Structure 1
């Protein structure tokens, strides 16, 4: 629901559940990832988005809004960006946006708005062009997987030939992965995001299967099509029954007859553990959709009061991501266990993982290359406690081929010549007996990228 709203007849159609069942292969992802129909953090904690859309590309000076949205209860902000349809947001600007999100303890969903209404709006960009924008920002996005979700393209197809959405989306996901992105990807529906012809619903499995990392969440935008409790519940039922990951990436409120039933929407999202992101903080040409008056956090509109202070609103249901607080799950989760037999095997060109073998009761570490491109690579180190609990750990290895580490997450990594040491962060040092955690890093290489032997010392 943007500066230009698509006019859609509110048609209530009873949904028929598909018979497919999704089985996501296990994958030792770094940062935010999909597990079943849930989003989880690197430590295995389930994360449910409770957030607000912010029209940054048109109001780049409204940086105070990040702190204000956090104070309103949001744990996530979906940030509108442009690669050129409007004033392009540069790498430096996106870096600042990510910093603002992190400083205010908000998960950052970055979306490219250029694709809005493609096929119906002649100014809209293709999803392939949106992917090119993300590739141009890769240097500032890689390494931020704990904090950043990439929403490839906003409402990428209008109401003209929505069937083209499936192939375009599959190609976009695959191009993102081929270019080394490991982030959680968010995919918007066609029909200006509302999927009233059910293209996304009916092709969800095909799209999810296209992601070699099994790390994609689908996004529905709920406006006039979803004007009754039944229409909302029926749509959400299909995704829940098939175990498909879904968030409500945009929605408004029932400000007039025939508009979205926001009360039911927020209640159903809370009951089902589905994330929601309301549109929007301020700046709409239709101000009825503004949550604040002129970006003033002390002046909430009716819509702002409903989503911020309502019974299933932000302040009542939002929980901050544990990456910001150091909170760990109460017990090891499936994502912390050894990879299941369904996990993809390393490709023939990938080095084999290296595992340490310290005494029982200490810790072990496994080093693996999870992505590689000319001159660079991404590594993942899994640390596992032995037969007794540990309060801290340090992993050490020596590169044999001149590789270097440029940045890391989930650990403090230092280098002395070719020797690299990764020490636990504040939130992942204490491990119960047999429990695991991971940290990742980006590195450079030339010619050969052999996997080193790693050692793990427990505290």
Structure 2
């Protein structure tokens, strides 16, 4: 990485620290009788609250913050007001994973007119986080769309701007993004950081160099098949902890977060001990059976807290997620349905048909399970 790029990243990080100071405002009131979301930390292979009670992330994803801004369509996809959160609470949702865009947060020149950017974007994220926490819901902030031109195998787009999923976070913006997010939310351990949505550096090597892909995952730098300098997860963990933030951090595995087999071997160092693992499981993934969960997810969950941050199926039913949720319940593992958006669930997993919380056939399976849990 050149000195010029390092200087640019340092200046951006310093600016974000300055902007973030003083952003905190009193939280909005939650639903009557609802306690705020609990501060969390890691104890062994479990997440626990301040009083030592075991905790699982059980809930939904909320998509929109990663794409609406960079597409010039405002901030969110659908409402993020009290009524929409009350609908989530009617499903017994306890965690909401919120997708973000690094260029919109940083306010780069790549964000088009009509897209919320910079200070306005950061304030909108903070407002939603405050609303969720006030309603007893733990927000998981995750970096979903990032900068970097990638046109090799399994490319999502040929645009270097943050307009699609990339195989790994970039050194140009990702460390500054996490410096800003961590500075904004440090001291509020109800908020969780998922450092990157779905890594797939293994696809850049055509699946031929898994050890190299895992080294890229942890250490970053120049990675085979990826044409930009990569910010490895150790770099991003360091960026978060350098702010003084002790928030729980989540790290997803390879193969779009579905391959966790060497997660423990390449786990980054974290001085706070608040590092956790995250996987994604769909019916079109490779690891999609109880035998695979036992073999690949089970050993990780035995060592560190594991959450299945995205569960879903592309048939608008819940026959696939039912046994997955049963397995997760049995092993004390949390799970989040994709996604609390009113999309056509025949073309991809969508939980609701409207923002009052009317479930799709797929969503009905998750709602039934969540509302039955204590």
TM range (shorter): 0.5 to 0.7
Instruction: Name structure 1 gaps, 5 residues minimum.
Output: 1-29, 320-459
Task: Find out whether 1:174 has 2:226 as its counterpart.
Answer: no
Pick closer, same or farther for the CA change 1:301–1:315 going to 2, 3 Å. Answer: same
Aligned length: 277
Task: Compute the displacement of 1:256 (Å).
Answer: 8.2
Matched with 1:214 is: 273
Task: Compute the displacement of 1:201 (Å).
Answer: 2.4
Pick closer, same or farther for the CA change 1:169–1:234 going to 2, 3 Å. Answer: same
Matched with 2:247 is: 183
Q: How does 1:229-248 map to 2 (within 5 A)?
A: 229-241=290-302, 243-248=303-308
User: Which has more strand, going by share of residues?
Assistant: 1
Task: Find out whether 1:316 has 2:358 as its counterpart.
Answer: no
1: CA distance between counterparts of 2:148 and 2:290?
A: 26
Task: Compute the displacement of 1:186 (Å).
Answer: 0.9
Matched with 2:351 is: 291
Task: Compute the displacement of 1:100 (Å).
Answer: 1.3
SS across alignment from 1:154? coil
Residue deviations 1:162-207, cap 9 Å, x none?
3321221122112221232211001122222222xxxx42142431
SS across alignment from 2:55? coil
2: CA distance between counterparts of 1:73 and 1:50?
A: 8
SS across alignment from 2:308? strand
Which of structure 1's runs of 4+ aligned residues deviate more than 6 A? none
Matched with 1:371 is: none
Task: Find out whether 1:55 has 2:55 as its counterpart.
Answer: no
Rg (Cα) greater in structure = 1
Matched with 1:36 is: 44
User: Which has more helix, going by share of residues?
Assistant: 2
2: CA distance between counterparts of 1:42 and 1:116?
A: 37
Task: Compute the displacement of 1:237 (Å).
Answer: 2.2
Matched with 1:71 is: 90
Task: Compute the displacement of 1:136 (Å).
Answer: 2.1
Matched with 1:274 is: 333
Q: 1:81 aligns with which of 78, 82, 100?
A: 100
SS across alignment from 2:98? strand
Aligned residues: CA RMSD: 2.8
The two structures have a TM-score, normalised by structure 2, of 0.67
Pick closer, same or farther for the CA change 1:32–1:82 going to 2, 3 Å. Answer: same
Are the equivalent residues in 2 in contact too, given 1:111–1:150 (CA < 8 A)?
yes
Q: How does 1:112-261 map to 2 (within 5 A)?
A: 112-115=143-146, 120-121=155-156, 122=158, 123=160, 124=166, 126-128=169-171, 129-145=173-189, 147-158=190-201, 159-161=203-205, 162-163=213-214, 164-167=216-219, 168-195=232-259, 200-208=260-268, 210-223=269-282, 224=284, 225-241=286-302, 243-253=303-313, 255=315, 261=320
Are the equivalent residues in 1 in contact too, given 2:314–2:349 (CA < 8 A)?
no
Are the equivalent residues in 1 in contact too, given 2:248–2:275 (CA < 8 A)?
yes
2: CA distance between counterparts of 1:215 and 1:181?
A: 10
Instruction: Name structure 2 gaps, 5 residues minimum.
Output: 1-37, 69-75, 105-110, 161-165, 206-212, 220-231
Task: Find out whether 1:101 has 2:132 as its counterpart.
Answer: yes
Task: Compute the displacement of 1:53 (Å).
Answer: 0.3
Are the equivalent residues in 1 in contact too, given 2:60–2:340 (CA < 8 A)?
yes
Are the equivalent residues in 2 in contact too, given 1:220–1:247 (CA < 8 A)?
yes
